[in-house]
Amino acid sequence: MVGETDNNSNLVLPVKWDDDGMTQRIHGMIQKSGGDAESFFYETMIFERQRMASFLENRIFPDYRLIEDFYFSMQDIIDEREKNLARRRKIKSIDYKKLTFDYFSQDDDPILEAIALSWEKARPLLQKTHDFGQNIAHRVSENLVVIPLGLVAPDSPLYSAGYFVIPHQRELVVFEYKLRSAKEISIEKPELPIVPYLALSMNELGRFEVAPLLGIESSARQIRDSLYRTAAGYNPVWFFADISDTLLNYPFAETLLPIAKRKLVKEATRHLGTDAETVH
């Protein structure tokens, strides 16, 4: 596996595509700990507590992705250590009756050995925090449904662009969205592999109070009709995020919006007859 090497040891950190530099972050934690197991465990728990603090406030992103990246990056490091140890083992003797091998003892990298001991202790705690955040994400996803609110036939190509209304507290947040094709993306990002990507771009148009006598969905329809009468070049495609009342006070940018965007892409591409991955 390709990686970067700590100048103070033979530790090789696996390299993975990661826009937040998680591998570099772990490398920094290892250096800060000086290769001491307890110190690295302490640094890991600081990271875990920061993520849990966000989850306790129902803030999912980016903390859920960060803890997931951290977990798998650490597991890559530990797996690489095991592979290196296995490759260096030399057979001392063979018990032909039991069909077992006895190996010469191998010197382990002292820093990597300390990190492995620390990770053995920290991993179940990270897993528990990860699962806590995952449960919040599942709860929001199960109680957020994106429904068409426009006047367009289900198979219309117009679904590649339109408007999206997301309620939050006593407001309706209105976005204009656009789904771009793989061809458009390949022009901007030629380094991406040739796969059926769709990129979602959204522009917030405004926030509107929910009309007390109308309710949330009827207020959204009123906004749609008002924009239809006043906007030039109006697009009749509208989607509405139907959110359970118990979630309306959840953080908007960190929780409701990211999940609503994923649901929007799924619903819009369903109407377009497209099964594609999404980049944001």
Q: Where are the domains of the chain?
A: 3-141, 145-279
Question: What pTM, to 2 d.p., does this model score?
Answer: 0.72
DSSP helix/strand/coil, 201:
strand
Tell me the helix, strand and coil percentages in the chain, rounded to 5: 50, 20, 30
Q: How far apart are CA 85 and CA 157, in angstroms?
A: 56
Q: Which residue has the higher pLDDT, 80 or 157?
A: 80
Give tens-digit pLDDT for 207-227.
988 887 778 888 888 888 887
Q: Kindly give the pairing relationship between strand 171-180 and strand 100-103.
A: unpaired
Confidence of residue 18 (pLDDT cuts 50, 70, 90): very low
Q: What's phi and psi for 5, nearest 5 deg?
A: -110, 135
For the chain, the straight-line distance linking the first and the last C-alpha, in angstroms and rounded, comes to 29
The size of the chain, in residues, is: 280
Q: How far apart are CA 195 and CA 184, in angstroms?
A: 12
Give tens-digit pLDDT for 27-73.
778 777 777 888 888 888 989 999 999 999 999 999 999 999 888 88
**For 117-131, 194-208, 233-247, which range has the lowest pLDDT when averaged over its residues?**
194-208
